[in-house]
Structure 1
Amino acid sequence: MQTEPVFRTAGPADVPAVVALVESAYRGDASRAGWTTEADLLAGRRTDEAAVAEVVARPDSVVLLAEADGVLLGCCHVERRPGAGYFGMFSVRPGLQGAGLGRTLLTRAETHAREQWGLTAMEMTVIEQRADLIAWYERRGYRRSGEFEPFPYGDERFGVPLRPDLRFERLVKAL
């Protein structure tokens, strides 16, 4: 195995591997090997091939990949929006979480938004109940906005909620 991952932009051929990685990092028993699991909050799928293919193909959108020896280790989606980049679909292989790859991938996403698109801020939405994840982002310079969006109950494209009080909080960081 390589000591340093290689970073690149995803293309259409990468979609199945990205879906598998995202699912493994967030849903089901496999996700419990890492700390980013949402398995206690949501069941069902986190994403699917159609949704990932759409963000890979969308203008002003990029899916960044981290690989070693052809194995996908991490990914994230960065999108140019008016005034700020949007960061999402952030996934690191569960057995590798906590080793610094996520921090490196986040930094690369921020650099892309700043250098490629001239953006001065990055934002994301995180499920409010994910206090550990929000704290991780805060340690990397993100601040809680106090702005919330309702969880899309009834739309299984976002998962099947296991509790009735889920909502998203917007986090923001100046780049």
Structure 2
Amino acid sequence: MSTTNPTALSFRSAVEVDVPELVALVESAYRGEASRGGWTTEADFLAGRRTDEDGVRQVVAAPDGTLLVVERAGALVACCQLEHRGDHVYFGMFAVRPGLQGGGLGKEILAEAERRARETWGAREMRMKVVSVREELIAYYERRGYRRTGELTPFPYGDERFGVPLRADLAFELLVKTL
């Protein structure tokens, strides 16, 4: 009799062969009609791509970080980027399959990411940037101990690597959590 929990999550660092599936996951969580199956969609204010294979490949190859692949029963269900930046770790490229959003999976992954930031790099702080009009997403992170800094970075209008804006008031807000 196996003692393996089929609903348990496993975490590993992404490798080159994961790149196409990771791109598809990130796109499905944020852009296009598929993203509307979850609550993290950006489809109402950003069109175009969220990322591409080159962008994901750069994250996978970065020497001071990792792109965590999250699997359940051998299937890719989520991912997130952790990048060591001196006294803190940057958290990004967080994506959960749309049909699995809203069930506590993200909270579990975020807790594991924070644990790894503390244990791997001795980080005292986790930082992330969130599109400032994403009030529901910002509230999600606030419930998990992140605070709004009010520090805004202009959205890179005209640079389609970040998407095609559908409104003129986009910016990134820095959120921070003491670990």
TM-score (norm. length: structure 1): 0.98
Unaligned runs of 5+ in 2: none
Q: How many residues align?
A: 175
Q: Which residue number corresponds to residue 64 of structure 1?
A: 68
User: What does 1:60-99 align with in structure 2 at a 5 Å threshold?
Assistant: 60-99=64-103
SS in 1 for 2:28: helix
Structure 2 counterpart of 1:61, one-letter code:
G
Alpha-carbon distance, 1:70 to partner: 2.6
User: 2:118 is matched with which residue?
Assistant: 114
* Alignment-derived partner of residue 155 in structure 1: 159
- 2:8–2:72 contact (8 Å) kept in structure 1: yes
Superposition pairs for residues 7-26 of structure 1, below 5 Å?
Answer: 7-26=11-30
Equivalents in 1 of 2:167, 2:69: separation in Å? 32
Letter in 2 for 1:119: A
Q: Pairwise mapping of residues 34-49 of structure 1 onto structure 2 (< 5 A)?
A: 34-49=38-53
Of 126, 131, 134, 2:130 maps to 126
Task: Show the counterpart of 1:165.
Answer: 169
Match of 1:142 in 2: 146
Q: TM-score, normalised by structure 2?
A: 0.95
CA contact (8 A) 2:7 2:73 kept: no
Question: What's the CA shift string for 1:40-90, capped at 9, x where partnerless?
Answer: 010000000000001101111101111123321000001000221000000
Structure 1: runs of 5+ lacking an equivalent = none
Structure 1 consecutive aligned stretches of length 4 or more whose deviation exceeds 3 Å: none
TM-superposition CA deviations, 1:99-130 (whole Å, max 9, x none):
11111111111111110001100000000100
- RMSD of the TM alignment (CA)? 1.0
* More displaced 10-residue stretch of structure 1: 14-23 or 60-69: 60-69
Quote the Cα distance in structure 1 between the aligned partners of 2:145 and 2:96.
Answer: 20
| Aligned-partner residue type, residue 12 of structure 1 | E
Q: Following the alignment from structure 2 to structure 1, what is the Cα–Cα distance between the partners of residues 55 and 31?
A: 17
Report SS of the residue matched to 1:144. Answer: strand
Q: Deviations over 1:149-173 (max 9, x none)?
A: 0000000000000000100100000
Quote the sequence identity (%): 63
Structure 1 residue 55 corresponds to structure 2 residue 59? yes
Kindly state the Cα deviation for residue 9 of structure 1 after the two structures are TM-superposed.
Answer: 1.2
SS of match in other structure, 1:119: coil
